[in-house]
Structure 1
């Protein structure tokens, strides 16, 4: 197990410590160069380009301009193909996700009296159309459908559309269709990667253009979102998975190692670190990894080993828990597990994490599939300024103002003083005695 990356923070230079927080998508220059032509082809050729890219990139057989959109029959067939216990698990998860986001939803409008006779507030209305990106390259992800579709439905977005790569059979993943219908979305397009982002932005003969796109994706998707940010709102930055397991001396290192592998198995571009102040925990985790790998599938072993033996994952030993928490804040992880018998003691020390899971019974698995909070989270240090996908990501906020005749004089007086000071004569005129001529007695 000597190949697993093992770092002691006190032995690292400032640059070496900074290198630990780098993500696989930090440099997108290669992808930005490659996705540009893809975007242009979709813009020019529409459906035909989606068929070409689906055939070439996704190796989808039988994909045509006539079947780019899933049909009602495709949805019905999916419920026959997916096992009952999986359908029930999807329903269970969506029920919790829906209830969480209903609680999260803001009041449609509020107004407060800021000054006698002057009122201000906010109004929330749904965005007219949102694209939901559901990846497929390294597996099947109905959970992403659950997490993106459900808050969109709660927000009452009138046009929600799922974009997901077709499989080799030219069809949409059956569990994704089950999750979509269960959540309340029945528009699903067979398109993935940069070409899906372009289709959502510009529209095609089949695809209706959208105002915004949400959902995690590969660096190809991230690069396309960045290039098209002036055409479509790219939403929060959601790229390859990342996790930090923060563990103190009260837990077994083998348990920490088990949870470290949850996000590491997503793909070779994931990031996964165990950060602990306990050398015992670190060594126990290192010793337990082979046992956990023995219970995983070959592909997931390969992915997680690539992560944990490379520059984006492994074990970090801190001087103490203050140092460990400081490193977590430097890292700004997508997922953070605080593994301790007293996790709330450390919660106040964490300021930079998109999702914080407390204790030994709250692994990322439960949060990803069943708990309720959204598991579409900002990556690549996006947690420094972004939060998880929420119901408000599917809404636009408008400020509301209403001033009565009673409230007008003091606001106008003070506004005119500042308008004059800043040199805006029309601003000042609009609240001067010139306005009085237009008021009816």
Structure 2
């Protein structure tokens, strides 16, 4: 039916997209916040320049301006006493949840970690392989603007420690009291990182790109952030490796008629409550699922914390969220692959049966007992995922992001001669006389000395 409409909701209607008759999906339907960073680039550039020239002074000024820090005595680095106090402030059940999550994430990334070195005989007497080493320094970015995220601390810090990064640090915005979130401090210490600096946003990215009097310069930065963070990473990509492109949260709930639409709506809310710049869609070919989802959303929102409910409403009634009705499951899968979501939850009768048809998704969660919430916290795979369509070419944050490879080769005296003849022919064809001389009879003569 083409006249599906949404019930009246507080302030607005849930956005409804009927794509059943379309051959191609409208570009606006696939767009995300970070697709147009124009409004953020100039502002980020001026912030970056201030940090580059003023260092700590700029970070402290921006903490008051952007993070609304009211204390005049804020220090930029968290102290050991800050960590100790955090363990007294965080409830025991939350500490235990952090411990369980860290254990799962650690075990997953330890299994993912490659062997330090391997070599294989490629030709007789010629061996080649890889040597894998940790990056010397990595900054883990933990956002805070719309909440506190010890889960992001876990996802960024644990693989850094597993990989063996020599100097892993955390940067995170301070609260109004000038302090780091207590849960973040607990998660960091339990993960094995005790170097935390109070700077977020574009200024935090600039701090680790250039280094300041207090904040060390790092070779790489990982972790999700706002469009300001994404803009700063792009502007500073020649100064610091920006890592996995992880911007505002996004998700697709893919459902068929085997699921209750109210359940699909429950999971649709998960990523939409992150903030007004998130993106979230329920994609289904079932009109009944659409009806149930739309009818249930106001009830779900009424039971939520008002601020998070407002974020979710903004997303689901705006241009980057809502419900997409397709003509069949095939078109729904096509939409998923075109969108390339950060999180994909598959609520269909046989989720494993369609997994092979999913080409583009940062994370795929199968079945009604695998909600995004579990993926964000407890399952082990990394929840820092490519956003903005980057899942077409990029992968989730992993232990590999904290490591780099060097190719290693070794040729024996017996293996050298036949390879040298072929290399000599290659070099002459490509016009490199110096290359050719290095594998000419002259080498054999010099090796006699």
The answer, yes or no, to whether TM exceeds 0.5 is yes
Give the Å deviation of 1:12: 4.1
Contact kept? 1:246, 1:274, Cα under 8 Å: yes
CA contact (8 A) 1:51 1:63 kept: no
Q: Give how far 1:230 is off.
A: 0.4
Counterparts of 2:115 and 2:350 in 1: how far apart (Å)? 35
1:139 maps to 2:139:
no
Q: Which residue of 2 aligns with 1:10?
A: 20
Counterpart residue number, 1:42: 51
Within 2, Cα distance between the matches of 1:438 and 1:9?
A: 73
Q: Quote the offset at 1:246 in angstroms.
A: 0.7
Change (3 A) 1:61 1:134: same
Report the CA distance shift for 1:63/1:382 in structure 2 as closer, same or farther (over 3 A): farther
Alignment of 1:178-197 (within 5 A): 178-197=186-205
Distance 1:414 1:50 in 2: 58
Distance 2:72 2:192 in 1: 25
User: SS of the residue aligned with 1:327?
Assistant: helix
4+ runs deviating over 6 angstroms: none
Contact 1:272 1:313 in 2 (8 A): yes
Q: Check if 1:60 corresponds to 2:63.
A: no
The answer for the alignment partner of 2:113 in structure 1 is 105
On the 8 A contact 1:54/1:63 being kept in 2, the answer is no
Distance 2:19 2:71 in 1: 53
2:4 corresponds to: none
| SS at 1:316 equivalent | strand
The alpha-carbon deviation at position 254 of structure 1 amounts to 0.8
Tell whether 2:273 aligns with 1:265. yes
Mapped partners of 1:286, 1:424: distance in 2: 68
**Does the CA-based 8 Å contact 2:281-2:321 persist in structure 1?**
yes
Change beyond 3 A, Cα 1:6–1:265: same
3-state DSSP class of the match of 1:20?
helix
Tell me by how many angstroms 1:59 deviates: 0.7
Q: Distance in 1 between matches of 2:448 and 2:351?
A: 65
Alignment of 1:257-406 (within 5 A): 257-406=265-414
Give TM-score scaled by structure 2 length.
0.96
C-alpha offsets along residues 342-365 of structure 1, whole Å, 9 cap, x if unaligned? Answer: 100110010000100000000010
Give how far 1:5 is off.
1.0
Q: CA deviation at 1:440?
A: 2.9
Contact 1:122 1:397 in 2 (8 A): yes
**Secondary structure of residue in 2 paired with 1:62:** coil
Offset of residue 433 of structure 1: 1.4
Which residue number in structure 2 is paired with residue 93 of structure 1?
101
Residue deviations 1:76-112, cap 9 Å, x none? 0000000000000000000000000000000000000
Deviation at 1:19, TM superposition (A): 1.7
**Distance between the aligned counterparts of 2:34 and 2:22, measured in 1?**
23
Q: CA deviation at 1:341?
A: 3.0
Distance 1:334 1:425 in 2: 50
The alpha carbon displacement at 1:63 in A equals: 4.8
Deviation at 1:207, TM superposition (A): 0.9
Structure 2 gaps, min length 5: 1-6
Q: State the match for 1:232 in structure 2.
A: 240
In structure 2, what is the equivalent of residue 174 of structure 1?
182
Q: How far apart, CA to CA, are the structure 1 residues paired with 2:336 and 2:448?
A: 63
Work out whether residues 341 and 360 of structure 1, in 8 Å CA contact, stay in contact via their aligned partners in 2: no
In the other structure, the counterpart of 1:116 is 124
The alpha-carbon deviation at position 18 of structure 1 amounts to 2.3
Q: Deviations over 1:193-221 (max 9, x none)?
A: 00000000111111111000000000000
Distance 1:277 1:418 in 2: 58
In 2: Cα distance, 1:195 partner to 1:218 partner:
12
- Equivalent residue pairs, number: 439
1:241 to 232, 241, 249: 249
Measure, in 2, the Cα distance between the counterparts of 1:18 and 1:323.
Answer: 16
- Tell whether the 8 Å contact from 2:227 to 2:247 is kept in structure 1 after alignment: yes
Question: What CA deviation, in whole Å up to 9, does each residue of 1:405-430 have, x standing for no partner?
Answer: 11112221112211111111111111
The within-5 A match list for 1:142-161 is 142-161=150-169
Computed over aligned residues only, the root mean square deviation of the Cα atoms, in angstroms, reads 1.1
